[in-house]
Structures are given as C-alpha cells and as structure tokens.
Amino acid sequence: MLLQPEVPSVLRRAVFAAITVVGLSLLTGCGFKPLYGVTEDGGSVSAELAYVTIPEPRDRLSQLIRNNLLSNMSPAGGPLGDRYRLEYEIKTDTNDLVVERDTDVSRRQFRMSVRYRLVDSKSNKELHHGRTFSHLAYDRVESEFSNVQAETEVRERAAQQVAEDIKTRLAAYFSSS
C-alpha cells in the first residue's frame, strides 16, 4: 500500500483561497452582481422593496402573507411610500394523503397557490406578475385539538414560504429593471 504524504493545512487553505479568488473574478467578469447590492445609480433592491404597499387583508391567510411580506420587505416598519402596490389572490385546497382501513385520515396535505401582481401606484400599470405555491403535509391524530393546531401551523408555514418566494421574485425584478 502506498502512503500519500499529508498536505499541510496551511497549504490547503492557500489553495482554497486562490480557487475562491479566481472563481469570484470569473463571476464578476460574466456580469454577476449581488441581488441586494447597491446599483450603479446608488439605489438598491432593498430600498425599492420598501416602497411596496400591500392592501389590507380580507381574511386570516391573507393577513399572514401580508405580515410576512411587510416584515421581510420593510423590516423597519411600514412601507416608505406608495410607489408600488402588491396585489395577490390566494387559492387553497386540502386533500387526504393516507386513509386507514377504518376511513380515518392519518395524513393530510394543505396546498396554497398565490397569484400576485406588482402595480405602479401612479399609472396603475402592471410591472410584474407571477404565481407561487406551497404544498405541505401534516399528520392527523386522535386529538381534535392537535389536528386543529397542526393545520394552523401548516397554514402559517405555507404563508411564510409564499411570502418569502414573492419577496425574492420581486427583488429579482427590481434588480433586473
């Protein structure tokens, strides 16, 4: 059996640093720019996100999505202005995944689909639109209280996932425009 000499950790770190520098320089050469960095004109995606207003919710699920969006897009509080308006429609569905022989449901899936549009507040022109979704499953047990709590938590997680996806898509839109 041939023994390979052990490479000193200092040499490994130096090689890793060199590869990282070369990789980053290649990324900047191909036009890569950080999503939340400052643009050439001094603006930033974070600043644009802070100008998005979201209408008051109509139901609990809309309120959860709105609260998550507001805390992600303008963490200091409400929007800075009303340059943009975000509108969205929610569709939900629940279906049984595992049905036991005695017709008890032991696993259920909650699906949420959200259609959204970003509108210029002054001209009412649609600037960006899209769809996002969340599919989450939860177990059902004998305790009805536990089942209600599990469904509530799944709805909250779905709202959080959808809000994060909308925020990311809006950030990508502002970054490219």
pLDDT of residue 57: 87
Region 86-106 average pLDDT = 80
Structure tokens of 163?
């809000």
- What is the per-residue pLDDT across 43-75, written as a single tens digit (0 to 9) for each? 577 778 888 889 898 899 999 999 999 888 876
Residue 12 has pLDDT above 80, yes or no: no
Return the number of other C-beta atoms located less than 10 Å from residue 122's C-beta.
Answer: 9
According to DSSP, the residues that pair with 96 across neighbouring strands are 108
User: Do residues 54 and 82 make contact, with C-beta atoms less than 8 angstroms apart?
Assistant: no
Q: Which residues, including other chains, have CB under 8 Å from residue 104's CB and lie 6 or more apart?
A: 140
Residue 9 has pLDDT above 90, yes or no: no
- What is the per-residue pLDDT across 100-139, written as a single tens digit (0 to 9) for each? 665 566 788 999 999 999 999 999 999 999 999 999 998 8
pLDDT of residue 25: 66
Residue 4 has pLDDT above 70, yes or no: no
Domains contained in the chain, CATH given: 44-176 (3.30.160.150)
Structure tokens of 72?
């992600």
Confidence of residue 151 (pLDDT cuts 50, 70, 90): very high
Q: Give the up-direction half-sphere exposure of residue 138: CA atoms within 13 A in the CB hemisphere.
A: 18
pLDDT of residue 41: 56
User: Do residues 92 and 111 make contact, with C-beta atoms less than 8 angstroms apart?
Assistant: yes
Residue 150 has pLDDT above 70, yes or no: yes
Query: What is the overall mean pLDDT for the chain?
Result: 82
Region 26-49 average pLDDT = 62
Region 11-25 average pLDDT = 74
